[in-house]
Structure 1
């Protein structure tokens, strides 16, 4: 019963933190509010969350990474794939090695393997935290795509490195050759399991749907089970469950193209996954805040591991780690952008990227949910039963890096992003117009065939001709507007139509509420009309 009460309390804290973040007069990222609220909970209640590292990893990471892989724009990812790979793999390896050695030099009491583990958990970035920070100063779309792609891949690469570092700490030995071979198996098999598992499940689901129809609730539940199933299967094969979840998410987006679900199913599924993403990310940050009082209470004992007496040294160590991460990221981003995105997209342009672009990309490397989830998976004890060395110190430093990176990005990103533009990417308007015209022509041909078929079967062909003509007029207007010189005017008219339609929807809602209060409309009628108005509003706000 206590576990259920704590879970409900954490969910309530996530809801309250979101409301508080919107009420504040200044722009404060929701993750920071959640951390502060979690700290208040830790100070004011007797509840204490005892986190099982393996359970924590299993419950939080597979669905979050699966959703990242599912929703990330694939075309934009492939367009800047060299930059993304350099940031997600090259920068992670540089961070693990460079920061691992730096942490061990800075804190000799922390074993080298544990220092590498800490470096591995602070290497992944969190685009959700960046989005929250830049809510009022929008990040250029192309930069956000790069950050999303980097986060998707560096989550997996950082956590795989963490796995090797923990194994080295537990066994006391490390072989680069064996680690390289093991990495190939762990990564390759993990991705393969995620891809094959998802294809098998989606094919089975499509077969059942073709034969016996589709149930929206079951479809949503299957999508929730896929990341956990792929994770467990990969771990059973001693491969990476994290990479299996990522591979499953990427495969899901392609599998859905050929095996489309009903529109109602997609809407429900998107709503469920949006809620899960919001809840899991929020709970992780609230948990970080809830754990902070206990971590700070042990600060004096923790700092004793470093050979100092004052807990202020812990703050200095956090600042040193953040400075080292920023310096490494700035240097790597500068080189990466110079070698890839600028040279590739702007032939003949200057070789040096704008320093504001480099600085913004560097500060956007905010640490968040994945870092916390990773550091909390550090084992509680060694194989001989002794406490895992410097575990509390590693957790404190990782938590400090998350908080400080969030604060720095909150201050720096709005300044750096103001007026900043990335090198222009090719316009997709022509592609969109061509696709709209092609789909409209296909719709007209299908309507015409169906119209003739109905006219042959019934005695009143004029009825079907008139009904079909009304629908085809809509498609003809689309084709004429997009294929002629008046395409810009057509788009302007569409925007105005959407604006007027939203005004009408608002008036319909107000009148419907009045009719309900007057008991002139029944609840079932109101529910049906409300759903239709919701769909109309969603369409015209898109």
Structure 2
């Protein structure tokens, strides 16, 4: 029962943290860490974490969702910059910070130092979004950060696995590591793709023969990342890359549009909850574990000859400064190379603002993946002895997360204000054409369906009237999209007015339905059905 009570308190802390973050305007992860520390200081029993179990529970769904939801076309467009940041910068960080930590903390073996450097290399766009909520992040910058985060999660955590393996076995060979990396990476990607594809085909067959059950479909989507991860680990491949590949394959499967609309709506809500809960619990657990981690880190620092615990703060600041310098240098070099390639191709060049480089550097906030990764460091070596400097490594990673969050909270809003980036690759004309094409397809489908339904019926005029009313909505859309730019702009203004009026009407409908339900003038089940329909319509007009 103690474990159940602790889990419930952690989830309660996640719920409370959302309101406190809005109230205090502090970044959500910082609030969650503070609440976790309060839980640790309370009478609630602390959690004894199993590193491998922690990794399996939290990382697969988060990585899967990142791969599922990230806009692929933006990664393809900015692939050079994304790859330079996600792969090149990770290796640059592992080498540079790894040797720095080994020199700075002699009590920490070099493989552990490299593991720490690898685990602090991934960035967290969710934390950046929470920090910059007051100042919108330019879309292209956010897309680059999302693409970088998706790939550097995998590359950083794979590097950490190699470093930990070197610590456990005492040997490391570059040639063997390269061959192993190919097997680990390619095998993980292949397994992630195959698992998602096979499950999707199975779902399609069942749906075609037995119909679609929304609850089962949602549960299957929750199980896919765990299945891909565990199968990849069974074959000694990267479960991390398997989860990412499974998510990206899931997005391609979804483009077939075979799932029911209600399934997609409910599944999106479930996954939003999973993402919020998983990210929140990770940070609350950090705060909850911090007293014990701090005590172990102090003992490790004493081995270096430093008796004062404030040396821990120096270590954190030095590592955070090194990460910032390395990232700034790499971003600057990356942008210069991008401009050089554009010049070679004869493309027009734009001056790169130092604010853009600073914003890209400061946006390298560490978050849930870093924390989840460092908490999976083994508790013991192969001979049963304690894993060296484990508590210190966890504390330093947590300190880097904290410093990066604070630095970004202070600096990003001013750097992002009025920051201009090259325009997005698509424009309003493209959107208008897509809407017009969809409207034409809808009109043709309505005509075919109306003819099929009314053929040979005596009340065929009823079907004709109904189809005319439905098609009128689509014809109005076509009229507005195929006019001159000035007329189209006016049409969009009218649409905006209509949306506000429709929303006002829907909200009035919902209020009245609630009143009828409270007064027992409407069956509660019917009320829930009507209100859900209104909610979906309102989401359409306000989303």
TM-score computed with the length of structure 1 as normaliser: 0.97
Which structure 2 residue ranges, 5 or more long, are not aligned? none
- What residue number does 2:325 align with? 327
SS of residue paired to 1:225: helix
The C-alpha deviation readout for 1:481-525, integer Å capped at 9, x for no partner, is: 101112211211111111111222222233333333433333223
CA distance in 2, matches of 1:336, 1:411: 25
What is the alpha-carbon distance in structure 1 between the residues aligned to residue 340 and residue 237 of structure 2?
A: 37
Structure 1's 390 and 242: CA in aligned 2 closer, same or farther, altered over 3 A? Answer: same
Match runs of 1:175-186 below 5 Å: 175-186=173-184
Distance in 2 (CA, whole Å) between partners of 1:534 and 1:344 is: 47
Q: Is the 8 A contact 2:510 2:531 kept in 1?
A: yes
Residue in 1 aligned with 2:451?
452
Bigger mean CA offset, 420-429 vs 11-20: 420-429
Q: CA–CA distance in 2 between the matches of 1:52 and 1:385?
A: 16
For residues 519 and 295 of structure 1, the distance between their equivalents in structure 2, rounded to whole angstroms, comes to: 56
Aligned in 2, Cα 1:78/1:172: closer, same or farther, shift over 3 Å?
same
Deviation per CA, 1:128-147, whole angstroms, max 9, x where unpaired?
Answer: 11111011111111111100
Match of 2:462, SS state, is: helix
Distance of 2:185 and 2:198 partners within structure 1:
20
Q: What is aligned with 1:380?
A: 379
Displacement of 1:423 in angstroms is 1.3
Pick which of 508-517 and 59-68 moved more: 508-517
Superposition pairs of residues 16-27 of structure 1, within 5 angstroms: 16-24=16-24, 27=25
Residues 263 and 48 (structure 1 numbering): CA distance in 2 closer, same or farther, change over 3 Å?
same
Partner residue of 2:139? 141
1:227 matched to which residue of 2?
A: 225
Contact 1:305 1:390 in 2 (8 A): no
- 2:90 paired residue among 89, 92, 98: 92
Q: 2:203 aligns with which of 197, 202, 205?
A: 205
**1:3 CA displacement:** 2.4
Counterpart Cα distance in 2 of 1:306 and 1:155: 31
Question: 1: CA distance between counterparts of 2:527 and 2:394?
Answer: 52
Q: CA deviation at 1:17?
A: 0.7
**C-alpha contact (below 8 Å) 2:300/2:392 kept by paired residues:** yes
| 2:115 aligned partner | 117
Deviates more, 1:154-163 or 1:104-113: 104-113
Q: Which residue of 2 aligns with 1:51?
A: 49
User: 1:446: Cα distance to partner?
Assistant: 1.6
2:463 maps to what in 1?
A: 464
| 1:499 corresponding residue in structure 2 | 500
Q: Distance in 2 between matches of 1:260 and 1:98?
A: 48
* Most deviating of 405-414 and 530-539: 530-539
Q: What is the deviation of 1:348? A: 3.5
2:523 is equivalent to residue 522 of structure 1: yes
- Once the two structures are superposed, residues 79-112 of structure 1 have per-residue CA deviations (whole angstroms, 9 ceiling, x without a partner) of 1111111000000000011110111111122111
* 1:438-461 alpha-carbon deviations (Å, 9 max, x no partner): 121111112112222233220132
Contact 1:80 1:341 (C-alpha < 8 Å) held by counterparts: no
Unmatched tracts of structure 1, length 5 or more: none
Looking at structure 1, the residues matched to 340 and 217 of structure 2 have their Cα atoms a distance apart, in angstroms, of 43
- The 2-side partners of 1:455 and 1:511 are apart by 36
Is the alpha carbon distance of 1:342 and 1:424 closer, same or farther for their aligned partners in structure 2, counting shifts above 3 Å? farther
For 1:135-174, list aligned pairs within 5 A.
135-174=133-172
Match of 1:511 in 2: 512
- CA drift at 1:224: 0.6
Moved more, 332-341 or 220-229: 332-341
Q: CA deviation digits over 1:106-133, x for unaligned, max 9?
A: 1122111110000000000011111110
* Distance of aligned partners of 1:476 and 1:322 in 2 relative to their CA distance in 1, 3 Å threshold: same
Measure how far apart 1:341 and its partner are: 6.6
Partner of 2:491: 490
Query: In 1, are the aligned partners of 2:339 and 2:349 still within 8 Å (CA)?
Result: no
Is contact 1:156–1:242 with CA below 8 Å preserved after alignment? yes
| 1:154-188 deviations in Å (ceiling 9; x for gaps) | 00000000000000011111100100111011000
- Maintained 8 Å contact 1:342/1:353: no
Give, in whole Å, the separation in 2 of the partners of 1:253 and 1:412.
34
Q: Tell me by how many angstroms 1:256 deviates.
A: 1.5
Equivalence for 1:31: 29
Q: Residue in 2 aligned with 1:441? A: 440
Alignment partners' CA distance in 1, 2:452 and 2:52? 61
Distance in 1, matches of 2:453 and 2:508, equals 38
Tell which deviates more after alignment, 240-249 or 294-303. Answer: 294-303
Name the SS for the 1:381 alignment partner.
Answer: coil
Give the alignment's Cα RMSD to 1 decimal: 1.5
Match of 2:429 in 1: 430
Scaled by the length of structure 2, the TM-score of the pair is 0.97
Distance change (3 Å), C-alpha of 1:512 and 1:344: farther
Distance 2:169 2:513 in 1: 68
| Contact 2:36/2:288, CA 8 A, preserved across alignment | yes
Could you tell me how far 1:43 is from its partner in structure 2? 1.2
In 2: Cα distance, 1:46 partner to 1:450 partner: 62
Specify the alignment match of 2:194 in structure 1. Answer: 196
> How far apart in 1 are the matches of 2:75 and 2:201?
26
